[in-house]
């Protein structure tokens, strides 16, 4: 069985660790590869950082116009290899082929935005800040940066950071999720074709030991993390304690509110797509649906659209939802549904014990709806990260906003309505960093920051767009005076 290699200093090299984990296709349970793991992967990180530091020293002084050239080739290569990358994403993560292609498109868009670095890096200049004195600010690279990714978007998430990091003059060490390392292997085969210094972009496998080595390494200047809230909080504090700049995106529990004046058919379809897309394993998946006032029609429509969703292996045509990532995930999610019942929720649609013909061993759960969970119960506060909709009913939009704002997460909140006034109130008052109006997955495009709030984000500058440019540079302010006699009078 193939033991995956690391990509360090422009070469594919074996991990020093002898320990491995199986990479498993969650639909077929086939073992696809073995990924290095265990404590010794810390030495792999050490080696990658040493090379990345050397590469950064030369790279930072190249003109930015030269630094963005490889991004154009990277965009081209990602486009050329979309089908093959998408198939790999589906095989290791379980999502459908259409979903996999969608995430590659989102990755490419970040490459495009980062290639605007010559404009985005321009800064401020104030002539005569005092008599004969000028002051200006320049942005300079940080050094070696690191990115630690979760399993649910094996391609896209590293691209919220990677293209910006190198456009700004940094080098990077990428640590993909040990559950889905194959996509990033394929992406690094493309990166290997770029005309960039050896060591500029490196990939190291592993789990906690690799992460801890990144968090503690004195030559790593910044950490971009995406994953669950407990790990995000840990990464944020440990990396900050070693003096690093950190952006750590965490988990979510995303509410969507449906007002009686919403278009029922469109709304139920969009909400189902949001709840069950990627089998609910999206940080922007709608998870709590709150219907306001008259709910009979929307409740029926949501039930029908949930029930109709076709579940199966994502590589097969017509499949709308794949399995969840691991066996442990499946039993955790099914356990949470049972907990919901114990707390007093009514299971309107039960997707537990799903068997898919031809994929009987796969980690499948069908769409599930639990109704009327107690507002202060545990389940409504817990990220399920599976294809489960919690359906609540409230009297007014104000009640819904108040409920949303009491929640500990703040990744996304959405409203469905045809009233401009309600939309405006919601947009203004909902305490979440990404807000959708008649949108089910309010994912910021690459031109905007991915703005989680509260326990969904630790840090201040987010991924993507201008925020990424600011995150990957440090400002230097220069104040300068030239003696009067040296300046020519006109």
Which residues are annotated as catalytic? 283
Residues 111, 114, 226, 262: which binds ligand NAD (CB under 6 A)? Answer: 226
What's the min distance (Å) between Cβ of 42 and ligand NAD?
Answer: 12
Residues 140, 228, 361, 438: which binds ligand NAD (CB under 6 A)? Answer: 228
Under rule CB under 6 A, residue 252 binds ligand NAD? yes
Residues 7, 385, 458, 471: which binds ligand NAD (CB under 6 A)? Answer: 385
Choose between 411 and 417: whose C-beta lies nearer to ligand NAD. 411
97 contact partners, CB below 8 Å, separation of at least 6:
86, 87, 90, 314, 315
What region, left, alpha or beta, does residue 169 occupy, with left being phi > 0 and alpha being psi -120 to 50 degrees?
left
Under rule CB under 6 A, residue 184 binds ligand NAD? no
Task: Give the footprint of ligand NAD on residues 263-292 (CB under 6 A).
Answer: 283
CB 26 within 8 A of CB 362: yes
List the x/- string, 399-418, binding to ligand NAD by CB under 6 A.
Answer: ------------x-------
Under rule CB under 6 A, residue 456 binds ligand NAD? yes
**Nearest position to ligand NAD, beta carbon:** 227
- Contacting range for ligand NAD; rule: CB under 6 A; set: 132-140, 197-205, 243-251, 337-345: 243-251
Residues 78, 85, 148, 349: which binds ligand NAD (CB under 6 A)? Answer: 148
Locus of tokens 């080739």: 73
**Can you tell me the distance from the alpha carbon of 141 to that of 164, in angstroms, rounded to the nearest whole number?**
11
Under rule CB under 6 A, residue 45 binds ligand NAD? no
Under rule CB under 6 A, residue 89 binds ligand NAD? no
Residues 197, 251, 312, 440: which binds ligand NAD (CB under 6 A)? Answer: 251
Under rule CB under 6 A, residue 471 binds ligand NAD? no
Residues that bind ligand NAD (CB under 6 A): 148-152, 175, 177-178, 207-208, 211, 226-228, 231, 234, 249-252, 283, 383, 385, 411, 450, 452, 456
């Amino acid at each position: 069985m193939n033991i995956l290699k690391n990509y360090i200093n422009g070469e594919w090299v074996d991990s020093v660790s002898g320990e491995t984990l199986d990479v498993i296709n969650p639909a077929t349970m086939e073992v696809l590869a073995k990924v290095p793991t265990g404590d010794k992967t810390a030495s792999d990180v050490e080696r990658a950082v040493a090379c990345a530091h050397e590469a950064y020293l030369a790279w930072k002084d190249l003109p930015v116009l030269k630094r963005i050239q490889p991004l154009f080739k990277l965009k081209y290569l990602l486009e050329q290899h979309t089908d093959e990358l998408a198939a790999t994403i589906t095989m290791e993560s379980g999502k459908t082929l259409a979903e996999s292609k969608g995430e590659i498109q989102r990755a490419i868009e970040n490459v495009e935005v980062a290639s605007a670095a010559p404009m985005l890096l321009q800064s401020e200049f104030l002539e005569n800040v005092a008599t004969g004195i000028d002051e200006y600010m320049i942005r300079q690279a940080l050094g070696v940066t690191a990115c630690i990714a979760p399993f649910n978007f094996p391609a896209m998430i590293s691209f919220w950071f990677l293209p910006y990091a190198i456009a700004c003059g940094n080098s990077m060490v990428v640590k993909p999720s040990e559950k889905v390392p194959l996509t990033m292997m394929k992406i690094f085969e493309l990166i290997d074709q770029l005309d960039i210094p050896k060591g500029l972009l490196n990939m190291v496998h592993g789990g906690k030991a690799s992460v801890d080595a990144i968090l503690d390494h004195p030559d790593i200047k910044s950490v971009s993390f995406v994953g669950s809230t407990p790990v995000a909080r840990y990464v944020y504090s440990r990396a900050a304690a070693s003096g690093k700049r950190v952006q750590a995106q965490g988990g979510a529990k995303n509410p969507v509110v449906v007002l009686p004046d919403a278009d029922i058919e469109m709304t139920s379809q969009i909400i189902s797509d949001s709840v069950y897309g990627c089998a609910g394993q999206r940080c922007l998946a709608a998870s709590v649906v709150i219907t306001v006032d008259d709910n009979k029609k929307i409740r029926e429509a949501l039930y029908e659209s949930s029930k109709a969703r076709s579940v199966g292996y994502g590589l097969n045509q017509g499949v709308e939802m794949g399995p969840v990532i691991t066996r442990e995930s499946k039993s955790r999610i099914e356990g949470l549904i049972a907990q919901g019942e114990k707390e007093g929720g009514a299971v309107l649609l039960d997707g537990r014990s799903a068997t898919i013909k031809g994929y009987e061993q796969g980690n499948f759960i069908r769409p599930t709806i639990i109704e009327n969970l107690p507002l202060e119960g545990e389940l409504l506060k817990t990220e399920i990260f599976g294809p489960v909709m919690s359906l609540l009913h409230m009297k007014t939009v104000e009640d819904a906003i108040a409920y949303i704002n009491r929640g500990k997460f703040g990744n996304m909140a959405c409203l469905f309505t045809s009233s401009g006034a309600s939309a405006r109130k919601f947009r203004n008052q909902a305490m979440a960093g990404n807000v959708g109006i008649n949108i089910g997955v309010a994912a910021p495009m690459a031109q905007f920051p991915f703005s989680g709030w509260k326990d969904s984000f630790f840090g201040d500058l987010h991924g993507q767009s201008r925020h990424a440019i600011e995150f990957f540079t440090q400002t230097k302010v220069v104040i300068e005076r030239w003696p009067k006699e040296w300046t020519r009078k006109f």
